[in-house]
C-alpha cells in the first residue's frame, strides 16, 4: 500500500494518481497509518506549517524511523523541502534525510507559477510539470542523482530510496513519476 501524507496539501490528487496506476493508496495522518504503508509520498503545501502538524501527529519521529529502516519516500515541492539536509536561509523543521540543499520559492511567488515540459531521467519522452511556488535544489551530495532540470536549475533528485521533485505531476494526467516511484 502506498501512503500519502494527508495533513495538508493536495493529497487527494496523489491518491488518485496512485490509483490510476493500479495501486492502493492510504491517507497517512498518524504513526499507525504509516505502519500500513510500504512507501510514502509527501505532497506540496506550506512547509513551516507542516512541521508543526508533523510534531503534533507524532510523525516527525515516525517518518525518519521508517525511511532509515528502508521505506521509500517521495517528497513533492514542500515534501522535497522537508527531505533536504539544508534549506537556504531557514532553520525551519526538516527531516534532513536527503543530502541536498534547497531554496524555497526559487521561481518566485504564487503569481510566477508555471507549467513546463522537461526531460526526466528514467522516463521516455517529455514530462509535463506544474511549478507552484517551487523550490530548487542548489547543492547535491555525491550519492544524489539529478533527474531533471529547468534551465540550469535542479528540480528532481534521487538518493537511494528517496525521490524529490520540485513540481506537481499529480496535477496532470501523466502518472509516470508515480509509477517510477512505485518501481524504485
Q: What is the CATH number of the domain that holds 162?
A: 3.40.50.880
What DSSP string runs through 93-144? -----EEEEEETTTT-SGGG-EEEEE--TTSSS-EEEEESS--EEEEE-TTP
| pLDDT of res. 180 | 95
Kindly report the pTM of this predicted structure: 0.94
Q: Cell 519521529 appears where?
A: 61
| pLDDT of res. 133 | 87
Biggest CA-to-CA distance, the chain: 42
Quote the domain boundaries for residue 42.
2-183
Residues in the chain where the model's pLDDT stays below 70: 108
Domain count, the chain: 1
H/E stretch holding 157 reads: strand 153-159
| pLDDT of res. 56 | 95
What residues are annotated to the active site?
A: 77, 168, 170
Gap between the Cα atoms of 13 and 19, Å rounded? 10
Question: Cell for 111?
Answer: 503569481
Q: Which of 36, 79, 53, 49 is nearest to 170 (CA)?
A: 79
| pLDDT of res. 9 | 79
| pLDDT of res. 40 | 98
Using alpha carbons only, what angle is made at residue 95 by residues 5 and 29, rounded to the nearest 5 degrees?
Answer: 20
Beta-bridge mates of residue 128? 117
| pLDDT of res. 10 | 81
Question: Cell for 41?
Answer: 509520498
Amino acid at each position: 500500500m502506498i501512503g500519502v501524507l494527508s495533513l495538508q496539501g493536495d493529497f487527494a490528487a496523489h491518491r488518485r494518481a496512485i490509483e490510476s496506476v493500479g495501486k492502493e493508496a492510504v491517507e497517512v495522518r498518524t504513526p499507525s497509518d504509516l505502519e500500513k504503508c510500504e512507501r510514502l509520498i509527501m505532497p506540496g503545501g506550506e512547509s513551516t506549517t507542516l512541521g508543526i502538524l508533523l510534531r503534533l501527529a507524532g510523525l516527525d519521529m515516525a517518518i525518519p524511523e521508517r525511511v532509515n529502516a528502508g521505506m521509500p519516500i517521495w517528497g513533492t515541492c514542500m515534501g522535497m523541502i522537508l527531505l533536504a539536509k539544508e534549506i537556504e536561509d531557514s532553520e525551519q523543521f526538516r527531516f534532513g534525510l536527503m543530502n541536498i540543499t534547497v531554496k524555497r520559492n526559487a521561481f518566485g511567488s504564487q503569481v510566477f507559477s508555471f507549467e513546463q515540459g522537461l526531460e526526466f531521467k528514467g522516463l521516455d519522452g517529455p514530462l509535463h510539470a506544474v511549478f507552484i511556488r517551487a523550490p530548487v535544489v542548489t547543492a547535491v551530495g555525491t550519492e544524489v542523482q539529478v533527474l531533471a532540470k529547468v534551465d540550469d536549475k535542479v528540480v528532481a533528485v534521487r538518493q537511494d530510496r528517496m525521490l524529490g521533485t520540485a513540481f506537481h505531476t499529480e496535477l496532470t494526467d501523466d502518472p509516470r513519476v508515480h509509477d517510477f516511484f512505485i518501481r524504485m
